[in-house]
Every structure is written in structure tokens, then in C-alpha cells.
Amino acid sequence: MTSAGEPVLRTEQVCKSYPGVQALADFDFELRAGEVRALLGKNGAGKSTLVKILSGATAPDRGRIYLDGKPVELDTPSTALQAGIATVYQEISLVDSLTVAENILLGRWPQRRCLGFRLIDRCAARSRACSALDRMAIALDPDTPVRRLSVAQRQMVEIARVLSFHPRVLILDEPTSALPQSEVDHLLTLVRRLAETGVAIIYVSHRLPEVLRVADRLTVLRDGRAVGTIPAEGASAGCLAEMVVGGEWRPRERAASEGRGEAVLSVRNLHSCGRLREIRFDLHRGEVLGLAGLLGSGRTELLRTLFGLAPLEQGEILVYGEKIPRPDPIRMKNRGVGFTPEDRKAEGLVPMLDLEDNLSMACPGRISRLQVLSTGRRRRLAEHMFRLLQIAAPGLKTRARALSGGNQQKLVIGKWLNAEVRILLMDEPTRGMDIHAKEQVYRLIADLAGQGIAILLVSSEMEEILRVADRILVLNQGRLTAEVPACQAGLEQLLALVMQENPSSKLMGKTA
């Protein structure tokens, strides 16, 4: 048993480099039992590399790792789990076709003998899964197929799965990036409860308010090095932001809207997905229209319906006044509409392809003549977007899967910008990004609006919507229930509109 003052986990002079990138440089770190340590840093700072090394997914070039004062070799994820280190990654890795219980005990299904055969003991599996869920106070039927769960519920199942190993060190990599505020509060309470039982927790997040709530100490990484560790108590968001970016940081003020241009996307009496009802609004040229709502309100379903990824059951969608009777992605792209999905890895890019391929895949007409590909034109197009978005990678031949989450999101946005879309549907465009990367995206959104591109943006962060939007629509239980100009909205007012329990089907304020 580790004493109160002895680190349960310690790294010494850990280094890791990739071609053209020093991911970690002489990194020293220690974590005590029962401590919640937050890791902060912008994309490329070394957080993901450290997590991969501690979880056994990546081997360091040099340096040592100690558990309970003894050196260990974490050469595989199973070795790390056996040593007592469990990791929950930002990207959920459950098997959709299996049940909650089967996912929690994946690879460890209990067995029983029957007539000389080994069979899965489903009663025992269900009982163990219930114990893991009860530990997290989650009311989920263990027999439910994972494909039927929301993103928030899947995240909780993922955490329950690793907790079933009874780890001594738990690593949470952006655990709240897809969760609504109510679920965030539940998770933070769970993290503190686990720490009180002696579990040492590494908490990776870009969300400063929740980090200050949950952590005991905070370690900031920059350029692969630890630039400082400070107590969470008394730390300010401004101080931490300055440590993260290496200089004074202040949020930019959103420029006031100069008025609305022509309506480029119009929605009339839209019904879809068995949830969206009587949706009606206009999106104008050069406008950033924010769509606020809790998880499950229908935000993502609305964007997917507009892009033709979900069926339009009733109503009309008009692009530049032209009715689109049966929207599908090809038809919408040909009319200048692009879509950046919430799940960038599964739907927004091709991880096995390089940056050049990903940045040019949505614009075949710009990189070919008479159906003959021009490799030079494709390269120049990709290079321009690579520089414009400041994608952190050794070069265009880097595979997309090697990028950090924030840089993968930039890649998805760049793909549509290369396609010269004039209407952009953005679902959680800064999910998993650090402060610096978010600010780059905010500037990009403002620049695009200034060029006349219309943007419909969904975000789980109310502050983000207030930061970038000209106008805000509130979606509650599948209906638009309010419209407010962003310059007149406050955070408390917006949260109240989003969280109201019995929303009216009539828009409050000015009708869209």
C-alpha cells in the first residue's frame, strides 16, 4: 500500500520523438494515491503522447516509469492494465453490436460448463456489469445494445468498463467532450468519489472551469515539457491560459453583426428522425447562426437532416431559394453546402490516408481536368490549406490518424473550405481542442463569415456559442423554442432557455 507521501506513479526523463516532432522531452512527473492531477496544454504539447506511453500503447525512446517506486516496462496496453493503469480515451471504442454488459466485460466474459461445453455465463456477466454501473450510479439496462445509446451514455459505459479492472491509476482523456452539463457534473462527482477511495487519477481536459473544480493539482505541458505544476485551489483561468500558450492570452471580442444578407438556407416546417418537429428558420449570407440545446435535443439530427444524412419526413429545405426535394450529401455539396460532423474520426476524414488526400477529397473538380487528376494542383491546394489552418504535422504525407484530435478537426474543416462551400454546417467544431486551437477556429469562422459564407454551428459549450454567433436558436425536445441575438444574450439567460423543462413550440423573441 502506497503511503500518503509516496508517489504511486512516477516518470523520470521520459522522451519520445516522431519524424520532425519532439513530442516529449525529459518529462518528469509524479502522481500520488487519491490525487486528481489535471494535464493541460495545447494540441501538440505532449499530453496525448504521455497518455499513450503510460497506457502501454507507445514505448518511450528513453526514460523510466516507476509504480510504487519500482521500475516497470509498459510495453502493451494489457501490461499496463495488469500493472493497474487503465485509460479512457476521448474516442469511444465500444462494439455497437454488443450489449452494455458484453462491452464492460469484453474479453473477460465469465464462462460455465454445460454438458462438457464451455458457455458464456450471461447471468454472471450481467451481475458483474451491474456492479460496475452501480459503482458509477448509472441507471442503464446491461442488456441494451450499445448502438441504441446516446454519446453520453456510451462514454459512461466506457468508463464503467475500465473501472471493472479496479485500477490504481485511472487516466481520463477528455472525458466530458461529448457530455451535456448535467452529465459533466455527474462525472466530476464520480471522479472525486473515486479519488477518495485511493484511486490516482490523471485528468486531461481543455475545459478550464471543470478542471479547476475537480483537480487537486494541475500540470501544464508545452512543447513536450512540463512548464509548471500548481495547486488547483486559487488558480485562475487567465493564469493557466497564459501558461498553456506561453504568453498573455485574452479572448477576442466577437465583432458585432453588420446586418443580415440574403437567406441562403431556408427551412420550413421540417420534421425528421421522429424527434424534430415544426422546424422553421432562415440562415443568411455571412451569418453565424448558433444552435443551442442539451444533448438529445435534436441538434445533430437537424444538421444531418439538412445535409441529407437523415431522412426528411416532412417540410422543405431551400438553398438559395431552390427547393431540394430529396436532400443527399452529393446533392447538397453540389449546391455549396458542407458538413463537419461531431465524430471526425469515423465520418469526417479517412485516418489511413495522408493530409493531402484528406484535404482534397471533397473537391475533385478543382484538382482534375477532363477526369484526369493533376497531382500538382492537388498538392498546391492542400499546401495552402495546411498553412492557412496551421495544422501541426511534419508534412502533407503524414497520415491523418497520426494527428491530435484538434488538428484532425482542422483537417475536416479544411476539406470543405477547399470545396469552396458557401454554407457550412458545423457540429461541435472545436470538440477536444485546446484554448489556442479554439481561438484559431473562432478567427477562421469570423473570417469565413466576413467572406460571405453562412455558418450553422452546434456546440455543447454555451460560452462558445455566445462567443462566435450573431444569432442563437434554442432547440429543446426537438422544437425550436427561442431566438435571441447573441449580442443581447447572457450565459444565464441562454442556459435557462436551453434547460426549460416544458418548452413551448412557439419561438420566443423574434420569429426566424
- pLDDT tens column, 390-403: 888 889 999 998 88
Predicted local confidence at residue 249, as pLDDT: 42
User: What secondary structure letter does DSSP report for 251?
Assistant: P
Predicted local confidence at residue 507, as pLDDT: 45
Predicted local confidence at residue 178, as pLDDT: 66
Query: Does the structure show a pLDDT above 90 at 441?
Result: no
Query: Does the structure show a pLDDT above 70 at 4?
Result: no
Which pLDDT band, with edges at 50, 70 and 90, does 505 fall under?
Answer: very low
pTM: 0.58
Which pLDDT band, with edges at 50, 70 and 90, does 181 fall under?
Answer: low
- Per-residue pLDDT tens digits for 238-273: 677 678 766 544 444 545 445 567 899 999 999 998
Q: Which three cell numbers stand for residue 207?
A: 475545459
**CA dihedral defined by 281, 285, 290, 296, rounded to 10 degrees?**
50
Which region among 145-149, 205-209, 501-505 has the lowest average model confidence (pLDDT)?
501-505
Say whether 262-336+422-512 and 7-245 share the same fold: yes
Query: Does the structure show a pLDDT above 90 at 50?
Result: yes
Query: Does the structure show a pLDDT above 50 at 494?
Result: yes
Domain ranges of the chain: 7-245, 262-336+422-512, 344-420
- Per-residue pLDDT tens digits for 458-477: 988 778 898 899 999 999 87
**CA dihedral defined by 333, 336, 342, 346, rounded to 10 degrees?**
30
Which residue has better confidence, 264 or 48?
264
Residue 41 · residue 244 · CB < 8 Å: yes
Predicted local confidence at residue 265, as pLDDT: 96
Query: Does the structure show a pLDDT above 90 at 490?
Result: no
Residue found by looking up cell 479547476 in the block: 212
**Is the CATH number 2.20.25.650 carried by domain 7-245?**
no
480 Cβ neighbours under 8 A, 6+ residues apart? 278, 279, 280, 281, 473, 474, 507, 512
Stretch 117-129: mean pLDDT:
78
Q: What is the mean pLDDT of the chain?
A: 84
Burial class from Cβ neighbours inside 10 Å (0-12, 13-18, 19+) for residue 319 reads buried
Predicted local confidence at residue 250, as pLDDT: 44
Q: Give the rounded percent of residues in the chain with a pLDDT score beyond 70.
A: 90
Query: Does the structure show a pLDDT above 50 at 506?
Result: no
Which region among 73-77, 235-239, 389-393 has the lowest average model confidence (pLDDT)?
235-239
Stretch 446-458: mean pLDDT:
92
Q: Which CATH superfamily is domain 262-336+422-512 in?
A: P-loop containing nucleotide triphosphate hydrolases (3.40.50.300)
Predicted local confidence at residue 180, as pLDDT: 65
Predicted local confidence at residue 182, as pLDDT: 67
Q: Which three cell numbers stand for residue 26?
A: 525529459
C-alpha dihedral sign at 254, 287, 362, 91: positive
Predicted local confidence at residue 235, as pLDDT: 85
Predicted local confidence at residue 259, as pLDDT: 53
Q: What is the 3-state secondary structure (H, E, C) of 85-145?
A: EEEECCCCCCCCCCEHHHHHCCCCCCEEEECCEEEECHHHHHHHHHHHHHHCCCCCCCCCE
Q: Give the rounded percent of residues in the chain with a pLDDT score beyond 90.
A: 38
Which of 218-227, 279-288, 361-370, 379-388 has maximum average pLDDT?
279-288
